[in-house]
Amino acid sequence: MTSPDEEPKQENKERPTRRRGDFFGISALASALLSGLAGERLSQSLDSGGWVRVLGLSLTLIFLLIWAIYYAPTVVAAYQRRRRGNAAVIVSPALNTAAEEAEQWTIALGSDAGGMAAAEWYSLNEPRLRELLQSEKPREGIADDFARICDALEIWYLRRSDPGPLLEMSELLKAVADACGRRDLAELAAARAATAYRLMGDLESATNRLGVSDNVATHSRTAAALTTRRQVERALLHLAHAEQSPSGNERDDLVLNARDRLDDARLNRPGPDLAAEVAIYINRAIVHLYQQDAEAALDQLRPAVARARAAGDVSGQAHALELTGVAAWMQRSPHEAKRWWRHAEHLYSEIDEREGRARCLQHLGSAEVAAGRLARARNLLEQSALLRTSESELLTKYLDAARETGTPPVIVDDGRAAVAAGWIRRMVGRVRDHFVLDR
């Protein structure tokens, strides 16, 4: 908001500009009048005023042209302001109401304060919110409410590992951003599309969309948070490339690049925020698990659990405990690993986070397969399959092993692949919590 002291300064800066523009306009008028008067006088006395009129008209046209060019940006800016002002009047009460409601439930989602109720609300209302976004015609008056609903739905889709609707929503937000000239929303839409493409496995498109987000980056109040998001997304892209790379220097370099990007995100995050800290700690732990360094991963997971508990973030706490179990398994402590996975599964069930429960049940089932307890393994793995919204190749292999021979699938890289296939998918959603809700 502009202060009263700043308004006169702005007006003072504009006055010399106006005076210079007025000079050309007045000059054009004076030139026209004087050329007409001089031409008339000369024609009366010397009968040779024609060339004076031509010269005067030429000067008049030149001054008028300069005056028009000088004021063109001002006229265009005034037109755009008027257009934006008219568009802002055309609001959508239904969209505003839905945005307020979704934002309130988002605060509770994944927390110890109504997390289960929030998950149930989203399950029932997500189709309605999505249809509302699809039916709205892009215009300036709806931009902020539209973006707030997109923010809320993104958390839900990431929680469910559902990239299809996430990509569609990013395209809808881009259309609104283009219609009203909101570069900040275009920047966010491109970053969100990058996340969706990464979850789909299209790493090239994800990288391209991140570049688009960089190119339209603004200096708005959400700019620092969006920069942090891109750094985390690049880290996850490096990890995704590492998953697809054979063991060796290339994979090691990708993991190191991911760690560097996470360090940048940790150092440059906008202000103190427990949710952002939890997310970055967990991501750094994932990097150490890729590097087969369980102890270093635990050094990141312990503060993650503490901060998540302090913030009332049950989802973050559960995920940190899940990965603590992975680290214990890598340290050849199966009983401790299963204890952490049971604890994490219980926390996920309290907030109805089904993908998290499915992963923990898969960990527990695979451990039972390894121990030769096939009946128990089948029960756990079948529960995991029922909860999943997408197929898991590793889960299918363990189920086949439990139902047939009991021989676990051959796993290269020992501990790293023991982590469920989707364990890094949801982390960028946790980092985004600290900026998109503060619109």
Mean pLDDT, range 68-93, rounded to an integer: 62
Mean pLDDT, range 41-47, rounded to an integer: 46
**Structure confidence at residue 28 (pLDDT):** 46
* The overall pTM is greater than 0.85: no
Mean pLDDT, range 340-350, rounded to an integer: 95
Superfamily of domain 234-429: Tetratricopeptide repeat domain (1.25.40.10)
- pLDDT level of residue 407 (50, 70, 90 thresholds): low
**Structure confidence at residue 390 (pLDDT):** 76
- Whether 1 shows a pLDDT value over 60: the answer reads no
Task: Give the CA distances from residue 389 to residues 33, 314, 384, in Å, rounded to whole numbers and listed in that order.
Answer: 80, 21, 10
Which tokens go with 291? 């590097």
**Structure confidence at residue 268 (pLDDT):** 76
Residue 2 sits at φ, ψ, to 5 deg, of: -80, 135
Are the CB atoms for 356 and 348 separated by under 8 Å?
Answer: yes
Residue 365 sits at φ, ψ, to 5 deg, of: -65, -40
Would you give the DSSP letter of residue 246? Answer: P
The CA-based dihedral angle spanning residues 197, 202, 208, 212, taken in that order and rounded to the nearest 10 degrees: -10
Q: Which helix (H) or strand (E) holds 390?
A: none
Pairwise CA distance, residues 197 & 315, whole Å: 24
Mean pLDDT, range 260-282, rounded to an integer: 81
- Whether 72 shows a pLDDT value over 80: the answer reads no
Task: Give the CA distances from residue 65 to residues 14, 32, 34, 58, 178, in Å, rounded to whole numbers and listed in that order.
Answer: 21, 14, 18, 11, 32
Are the CB atoms for 418 and 411 separated by under 8 Å?
Answer: yes
- pLDDT level of residue 433 (50, 70, 90 thresholds): very low
- pLDDT level of residue 263 (50, 70, 90 thresholds): confident
Task: Give the CA distances from residue 343 to residues 159, 205, 346, in Å, rounded to whole numbers and listed in that order.
Answer: 19, 37, 5
Pairwise CA distance, residues 188 & 213, whole Å: 7
Identify which of 430, 84, 153, 101 has the alpha carbon closest to the alpha carbon of residue 274: 430
**Structure confidence at residue 32 (pLDDT):** 47
Angle formed by the axes of helices 314-330 and 354-371, nearest 10°: 20
Q: Between 21 and 76, where is the model more confident? A: 76
- Whether 348 shows a pLDDT value over 50: the answer reads yes
350 Cα distance to chain centroid: 27
Q: Between 39 and 267, where is the model more confident? A: 267
- pLDDT level of residue 173 (50, 70, 90 thresholds): very high
Mean pLDDT, range 410-437, rounded to an integer: 38
Mean pLDDT, range 280-299, rounded to an integer: 91
- pLDDT level of residue 64 (50, 70, 90 thresholds): low
pLDDT digits (tens, 9 = 90+) for 96-112: 999 999 999 988 888 87
**Structure confidence at residue 267 (pLDDT):** 81
Mean pLDDT, range 350-378, rounded to an integer: 91
- Whether 262 shows a pLDDT value over 90: the answer reads no
Query: Could you tell me the fold of the domain covering 93-220?
Result: 1.25.40
Mention every residue, 6+ apart, whose C-beta is less than 8 A from residue 175: 138
Mean pLDDT, range 132-158, rounded to an integer: 91
- Whether 376 shows a pLDDT value over 50: the answer reads yes
The percentage of the chain sitting over the pLDDT mark of 90, rounded to a whole number, equals: 39
The percentage of the chain sitting over the pLDDT mark of 70, rounded to a whole number, equals: 70
Identify which of 316, 355, 363 has the alpha carbon closest to the alpha carbon of residue 339: 363
**Structure confidence at residue 3 (pLDDT):** 45
- 96: amino acid identity, one letter: N
Residue 179 sits at φ, ψ, to 5 deg, of: -70, -30
- Whether 421 shows a pLDDT value over 50: the answer reads no
Angle formed by the axes of helices 274-290 and 314-330, nearest 10°: 20
Please state which of the ranges 242-246, 257-261, 278-282 shows the lowest mean pLDDT: 242-246
**Structure confidence at residue 251 (pLDDT):** 84
Mean pLDDT, range 320-348, rounded to an integer: 95
